Amino acid sequence: MPKQPRSRGVRRLTAAAAAAATLLVGVASPGGIALAQHGGEGVIAGRVTADHGEVRALRVKARDTVHRIAYTVYTRDGGYRIHNLPPSTYDISVIEEAFESPTVTVEVRAGGTTTVDIALAALGAGPEQGAAARGASAQRNYGGGDADDRADEIVDFDTLYPPHPARDVMLRSCFGCHGPAGFHRRGPRNENGWRRAVDRMFDVDGRVANMSPGVPQVTHDLVSVEEKELIIQYLTANFGPGSQPRDLELDPLVRDEETLSRAVYIEYELKRGPQRLLSNGAPPRGSIHSVFASLAEPGVIWVSGNGSNSIIRLDSRDPDFETRTRELWIENPDNINVTPHGIVEHRGRVYWVELTGDHFGELDPATGEMKRRPLPTTGAGPHSLWVDSRGRFWYTYFASAGRIGRFDPAANDFTEWEPLAGFSGYGIVVDRQDRVWAVGLHTPAIFMYNQETSAWRSYPLANPARRPAIDANGKVWAAHYFGNAISKIDPVTGTVTEFELPLKDGNPYDVWPDADDNLWVENGIYNALVRFDQATSTFTYFPFPELRAHTPKLDRDAEGTLWFTLRGPSGPGVAALKPNGNVPREGASAGQ
């Protein structure tokens, strides 16, 4: 059996480590640090030290044990401050793989500053190792593999995947889905083992991502029979029986203390609905996927429960854990997990597509009533969803159906196009001119459909892409899950510009603009969200508040906060990043 990954979340000190930890806990008096006076909120502040290694932008987490909301900030010059905390009981710890941290429980009072100093015990390599390959995440559920703690050699990409005609085919048609950590962590296998794994991708009943049968993940329109055989032999030669366990060498992640010290991640635990059994006699596994920040109800975040057979409503402005979450089960005749995936809100109603259920769904939040409409193509895995200005919904299929579709509620009908044989759609958006933009896992291009002229156009990219987005100036962006870059397409000139991320062999998953038109990139192999500043063409890495984390989709609310799903110690939750949110609110005193 593969080695289990380290548990996520708060670590408790061993007896030896506890001896090295020094704690100072107190509430500042009026004669000491000035008290915060705004909104009845408090502050937690202190210093972090370590018996070995550098304390540089380490993550300090304060988990409100009553409201079950966690706040994570970064140290600066060894100190930290967490502003704007509701009065409650908090567990405080440092979240870093290179250190073991105590967990300190404190009470935060309105208008007060609670001091918590924490001494850490180093666990071997110091934090300068950054996103070392052994500790990096590679999302096996999203085309990658588990971090391989067996690896006794760390090598560069060309050593791990030697140049070969088979590799050329894989770079074009495989790595766009599997990413830079997609194959070596799935071995070793003999030839029959690799043949079964590769054949599954071409099987109409391969059940990739639990989709219903009908459409393969890859077709011979994209990878010929001869090329498929070449891939099988290449994988067997490099990751067959007796092959040495090796992993990908990554760059160290040097954290920008000044920038990170202003940021705060906020994680909301979810109170889930009553557990129900599916037709197989088991409950759904409970995972969640995409988010959409409500336009109709500020503070509400809609979530697709891809492993939960549900649509979830989170009211982030409700501090009460018991009442802020509402989970709505998707009834269906077969009583399966329909795997709701892409999700949007339009005119107060919520819409989604079902990766397994092959339906287009609609929810009226006021009544809880749901409608499900069957899609024209079955077994192709409806994946992404967006809505144009005319209220028509556009979607892609995850498998290689070659199709992009539209649902027109006014006419109550579906129309589908085939821009490319074997196209596997992995993201779709619509711009202000109602032009539709889509990308696919196996195709190094972005496709645009002009509704006015009924014409398709493709823009070549260096690699297949995921998750397109549109910035405030109408430029279209896409992330290269393999290729370590994001691309910008100018619809006016047709120019495609590529921006490579500074840390090598990254796996950008999603890209989304913020209120200042920076682009945010999910980069799970470095366990971080990455901000790209268009004005300066610079990248800044914001390590996730959890270890080995990943999120598949970002969204932004009207206030500029970034929202996404993230798994925490208590299970799947919803998280927010406020890049400049760890400062006193306007009107607060200097004590904050």
Same domain, 147 and 42: no
Structure confidence at residue 143 as a pLDDT band (50, 70, 90): low
Which domain-ending residue is among 543, 562, 586? 543
Mean pLDDT of the 289-310 span: 97
Same domain, 114 and 42: yes
- Is the Cβ–Cβ distance between 449 and 404 less than 8 Å? yes
Residue owning tokens 């001869």: 226
415 within a domain of the structure (yes/no): no
Same domain, 174 and 228: yes
pLDDT at 393 exceeding the cut of 90: yes
Structure confidence at residue 207 as a pLDDT band (50, 70, 90): confident
Structure confidence at residue 6 as a pLDDT band (50, 70, 90): very low
Same domain, 100 and 199: no
Same domain, 37 and 115: yes
Q: Per the omega criterion (within 30 degrees of 0), is the bond before 188 cis?
A: yes
When comparing pLDDT for 181 and 579, which is higher? 579
Structure confidence at residue 11 as a pLDDT band (50, 70, 90): very low
210 within a domain of the structure (yes/no): yes
Mean pLDDT of the 150-156 span: 77
Same domain, 72 and 51: yes
What pLDDT digit, counting tens, does each position of 555-590 carry? 999 999 999 999 988 899 999 999 999 999 875 544
Q: Read off φ and ψ for residue 191, nearest 5 degrees.
A: -60, -40
Query: What pLDDT, on a 0 to 100 scale, did the predictor assign at position 186?
Result: 85
What pLDDT digit, counting tens, does each position of 119-137 carry? 999 987 544 333 334 444 5
Taking the whole predicted model, whether its pTM rises above 0.85 is answered as yes
Which range of residues forms the domain containing residue 172?
A: 133-248
Could you tell me the CATH number of the domain that includes residue 50?
2.60.40.1120
291 within a domain of the structure (yes/no): no
Same domain, 139 and 243: yes
Same domain, 141 and 113: no
pLDDT at 478 exceeding the cut of 60: yes
C-alpha 304 chain-centroid distance: 13
Percent of the chain with pLDDT over 70: 88
Which tokens belong to 162?
């030697």
195 within a domain of the structure (yes/no): yes
pLDDT at 415 exceeding the cut of 70: yes
Which domain-ending residue is among 543, 559, 584? 543
Query: What pLDDT, on a 0 to 100 scale, did the predictor assign at position 13?
Result: 35
User: What does the DSSP 8-state code read for residue 427?
Assistant: E
Structure confidence at residue 283 as a pLDDT band (50, 70, 90): very high
Same domain, 122 and 151: no
Sign of CA dihedral 548, 554, 558, 560: positive
Could you tell me the CATH number of the domain that includes residue 485?
2.40.10.500
Same domain, 530 and 483: yes
16-20, 27-31, 145-149, 201-205: which has the highest mean pLDDT? Answer: 201-205
> What residues form DSSP beta bridges with 291?
303
Which domain-ending residue is among 231, 248, 265? 248
99 within a domain of the structure (yes/no): yes
84 within a domain of the structure (yes/no): yes
Same domain, 123 and 206: no
Same domain, 69 and 142: no
Mean pLDDT of the 359-363 span: 98
Domain count for the chain, please give it.
Answer: 3
Q: Rounded distance, CA 339 to CA 290, Å? A: 11
